[in-house]
Structure 1
């Protein structure tokens, strides 16, 4: 288990993986990160303070993730993040926020008024049927919703190479992600004990034919393994 890391390539930043309360949604078929959630605030605060104590401010950019959304971090953790940002001269802050919090993002921007706050969200795929029926992530993307997501979120997170996906779907997802969002993180799925399974044929195809085309593009980060950012709980 690692809760602090430094990302040195493309978009250099420090990253921390914190504990939060239960995820607002918590029903995604592929997610085992919710096992890291806790309702024990004392435990949450201890774990989070320890991870945040490692932040140096070396790049002036900090990414804060947890098994859910920033809104599920407790008050003491939020205060500590604010303190660290001031102490370490953090200028840019990344947070994750689930689609259901779309209309509350300004609360975080106002709380961290001295930083540029950038939000990331897990879309997983632009294919509505696959997202809702297979991945059980229950929101529908349409033109109106997409336009709002583009305004509110800096970074889109996609997940690829799961059974049931197709090459065409993966290629379309990546191209749509590039077209609509300033930053894109593409994660190759790794089996994690959930009902969703990795498709090894798609992985082999992606690594040989597609990955070389995108790996050097500045605004795309591709995670071949879920530990590639250096923080993980499994």
Structure 2
């Protein structure tokens, strides 16, 4: 498992994959990412201290991801991150959060005063029935504008059996219209029953090839394209 990397192409930054407490939601049908967590705070804190030592601050930007939301990191881990951010003169800090925490994001911003803290959320799709009835995301909102009011960036999931070209096209349109940044994750089969639609993925690659030239859109063709995680390709 690779825990530290540097993203060099779009929005250059350092990135760390930390351990955390179990995901509070933990019901997403397609996700086995939650296996990378721990219930022992002391173990989490000590483990993450070693990962955080690799941060250099060279890009002045740091992304912190974990097997849940930022709110599942022990307070001591947040303090360790804070010490490094200020010690390395990092100016921008990126965290992930489940949409359920949308009204608590200011708590994190207040913990990092004078730092430009940005949040991303994996809503996966704007298609409500597919998102909640099939993917079991537990993410409810009335409009993309509502999501954009809380999150600077969203993650979309493309290439799942049951998705249609129309659903994907609508998702991309709304991402480009309402959000400053976006990350598109191409679905890779894992230990869950959810299957990939390789034909849909091939269509997406041809139809939306122009996205690779957009500075604010990142596409993860493999789930380790940011350089962290376990290598697992088709």
In structure 2, what is the Cα distance between the partners aligned to 1:161 and 1:137? 16
In structure 1, what is the Cα distance between the partners aligned to 2:196 and 2:47? 31
Do 1:33 and 1:233's aligned partners in 2 also have CA atoms closer than 8 Å? Answer: no
Show CA shifts across 1:112-143 (max 9, x none).
01211000000100000000111011222313
Give the match for residue 19 of structure 1.
Answer: 19
Structure 2 SS opposite 1:152 = coil
TM-score by length of 2: 0.95
- C-alpha RMSD over aligned residues: 1.1
1:160 counterpart = 2:158: yes
Show CA shifts across 1:27-62 (max 9, x none).
001111100111112221122111111000011000
1:183 counterpart = 2:171: no
Stretches of structure 1 that go unaligned for 5 or more consecutive residues are none
Deviation at 1:233, TM superposition (A): 4.2
1:122 counterpart = 2:122: yes
1:140 counterpart = 2:140: yes
Show CA shifts across 1:166-209 (max 9, x none).
111111111111111100100100011112111111122222x1
Give the match for residue 64 of structure 1.
Answer: 64
Do 1:158 and 1:187's aligned partners in 2 also have CA atoms closer than 8 Å? Answer: yes
Stretches of structure 2 that go unaligned for 5 or more consecutive residues are none
Do 1:187 and 1:223's aligned partners in 2 also have CA atoms closer than 8 Å? Answer: yes
Alpha-carbon distance change, 148 to 203 in structure 1, aligned in 2, over 3 angstroms = closer
Deviation at 1:25, TM superposition (A): 0.5
Q: How many residues align?
A: 231
Deviation at 1:147, TM superposition (A): 2.9
In structure 2, what is the Cα distance between the partners aligned to 1:210 and 1:19? 36
Structure 1 SS opposite 2:118 = strand
Equivalent of residue 229 in structure 1, options 207, 226, 231: 226
TM-score by length of 1: 0.95
Structure 2 SS opposite 1:56 = coil
Deviation at 1:96, TM superposition (A): 0.6
In structure 1, what is the Cα distance between the partners aligned to 2:193 and 2:114? 42
